[in-house]
Amino acid sequence: MTVSPLHALTSRRSMKFLRAPAPKPDELDQILQAAMSAPDHGKLRPWRFALIRGAAIGRLADRALDAVKRSGDPRMTPEKEKSVRQWMSEVPLFVGLAQKIDHDNPKVPEQEQLLATGASVMNILNAVHMLGYGAFWSTGMGTYVEEVQEALGFDPLDYRFLGFLAIGTPACAMPEAVRPDYREFVTEWTGE
């Protein structure tokens, strides 16, 4: 039986619990290069990625969780902080995701820049999966706290921060995800 090439796309599922090893350097090159093939109106290349690995992950946990606590977020209880720190300490690679905003582009509205950046992240998710690793897109860890964005080098005046990808080797095997039937989301427009 031949497997459809589309199986590489349809078998992807997010993996939150990840361990070392991360993709090897040449694999990471390929993964990040795949992001460059996203559709991109006006060739603005709005996507930006900050690699966070090794000891920097501990520093990210300290800076992000302290900032979230200072922001007064009631969800950041001591138990939650402990579990986020534990989770982060196991993940070998995080990628901070941002869109560089071109505020005054007459041809490419900002929402199109955001869509191009989202498409580039999707290419990363698929490339990670195709190389046999796992990934998880999270907007936790202080994504919406300005101090965190700034600490990562993404001044909110010029960048829209879009969260983090955790990347590594899945900690356990997961069954294929159950996906909805596309017919629930598709209509045919005939113009009559």
Ligand X SMILES: Cc1cc2nc3c(=O)[nH]c(=O)nc-3n(C[C@H](O)[C@H](O)[C@H](O)COP(=O)(O)O)c2cc1C
Task: Say which amino acid occupies 110.
Answer: E
Closest CB to ligand X among 29 and 89?
89
Pairwise CA distance, residues 63 & 153, whole Å: 13
Residue 137 marked as a ligand binder: yes
Stretch that binds ligand X, among 43-51, 71-79, 98-106, 133-141 (CB under 6 A): 133-141
Stretch that binds ligand X, among 65-73, 78-86, 135-143, 183-191 (CB under 6 A): 135-143
Pairwise CA distance, residues 26 & 31, whole Å: 9
Residue matched to tokens 């905003």: 101
CA distances (Å), 17 to each of 61, 85, 169, 179, in order? Answer: 16, 13, 8, 21
Residue of the chain from 92, 142, 163, 168 that contacts ligand X (CB under 6 A) = 163
94 binds ligand X (CB under 6 A): no
- Smallest gap from Cβ 140 to ligand X, in A, equals 4
Pairwise CA distance, residues 70 & 90, whole Å: 25
138 DSSP 8-state letter: E
Residue 42: CB atoms within 10 A of its CB come to 14
Closest CB to ligand X among 140 and 156?
140
Residue 12 marked as a ligand binder: yes
154 binds ligand X (CB under 6 A): no
Closest CB to ligand X among 13 and 63?
13
Residue 117 marked as a ligand binder: no
Residue 71 marked as a ligand binder: no
Residue 95: CB atoms within 10 A of its CB come to 23
| Binding-site annotation, residues | 12-14, 41, 137-139
Q: Give the residue ranges of the annotated binding site for FMN.
A: 12-14, 41, 137-139
